[in-house]
Chain A
Amino acid sequence: VPVFPWHSLVPFLAPTQSD
């Protein structure tokens, strides 16, 4: 049975940081 890491379920939304 495959096991998936928790973070694969969460979209990776990376805003552009200006600082």
Chain B
Amino acid sequence: SAAVPPSLPPYFIKGSIIQLADGELKRVEDLKTEDFIQSAEISSELKIDSSTVERIEGSHTSPNVAVVQFSVGEHRAQVSVEVMVEYPFFVFGQGWSSCCPDRTTQLLELPCTKLSVGDVCISLTLKNLR
């Protein structure tokens, strides 16, 4: 199989074993929106935020890098992240999506759809600790 670039974390490779907050083990390609939501509900520190894709641009530094701008949470804070084009995000109700799904499937064998403006991704923030 193809070598995974060092910049891509190993847990996105198809077949990787993921432990949910309740201890259940699932393969990365089998994860559902509910798995993330329920895990965050159990977590004492993390909460799920909705992050809407507002813009996707190429990077000046590398053709394999994209800059994705999100609008995060109810305050619609603007956050930009620079990622490899094959880096997968989890879209609510849809599953893994990336800027270049063909590359994601090729490199990670992870089934993936095209990340588009307007998609709502799962992201994490800290719960308010009192």
User: Which residue numbers of A lie inside 8 Å of B, CB to CB?
Assistant: 1-18
Contact = CB atoms under 8 A, between A and B. Distances in A.
Interface residues of B, number: 36
Contacts of B123: 10-13
Contact of A10 (B73, B75, B124): B124
Given A13-B125, A14-B125, A15-B73, A7 B81 contact: no
Contacts of B125: 12-15
The DSSP consensus for interface residues of chain A is: loop
Nearest to B39: A6
Contacts, number: 72
A3 B39 CA distance: 16
Contact of A7 (B25, B46, B72): B46
A7 B45 CA distance: 11
A13 B90 CA distance: 13
Given A2-B10, A4-B11, A15-B73, A9 B18 contact: yes
25 contacts: A1-B17, A4-B16, A4-B18, A4-B19, A6-B18, A6-B19, A6-B20, A6-B31, A6-B39, A7-B124, A9-B31, A10-B48, A11-B51, A11-B123, A12-B124, A12-B125, A13-B72, A13-B123, A13-B124, A13-B125, A14-B79, A15-B73, A15-B75, A15-B125, A18-B75
